[in-house]
Amino acid sequence: MKMTWSEYLADLGQNQAQIARSSGVSQATVSRWLSGDVIPDAEKVVGVARAFEESPLVALVAAGYLEANEIHAAVQMPRRYLLRSFTELELAQEMLRRVADAKGDLLERPMDVDHPAWSGVGGAAQDDVEALPHAAKGDAEEVEEDDHTP
């Protein structure tokens, strides 16, 4: 059996004044809701549910905005919100588009190894990078230095 909006309000266990005060509406409005004469707009339905820490989805079903089977179905996020659904090529193209749209010297300056973008990247730590000139093979007679040598 489907619960009506007035039944939903009655199940909150509050009087009209308490529902009105908590929901930010007049007591006369709550009275019309309880009598079944008026169904609130969806925004008010959600506001009532949140005011009493109830599920907005259940309230929307009681008010007739949703069917019960709609709230029990698995929520499917649109593809644009799911990174794992994109191919590596699509991700790379989006990265290139963002870099191309960026203003400034993003591509002209080196990224600091302490930058958050490096946090998940394996490899050398800053101390290891600084020790690189000393890591030449033992049989090498001379290590060439260039602009990148610290």
Helices (H), 12-122: 16-23, 27-35, 42-51, 56-62, 68-72, 88-101
Q: What is the pLDDT of residue 137?
A: 47
Rounded-to-integer distance, Cα 48 and Cα 44, Å: 6
Predicted confidence band at 81 (pLDDT cuts at 50, 70, 90)? low
pTM, entire model: 0.51
User: How does pLDDT run across 43-60, given as a tens digit for each residue?
Assistant: 999 999 999 999 899 999
User: How does pLDDT run across 1-24, given as a tens digit for each residue?
Assistant: 578 999 999 999 999 999 999 999
Are residues 14 and 22 in contact, defined by beta-carbon separation less than 8 angstroms? yes
Q: What is the pLDDT of residue 69?
A: 84
Rounded-to-integer distance, Cα 42 and Cα 68, Å: 16
Tell me the CB-side half-sphere exposure of residue 40, using CA atoms within 13 A.
28
Closest CA to 132 of 144, 114, 115, 150: 150
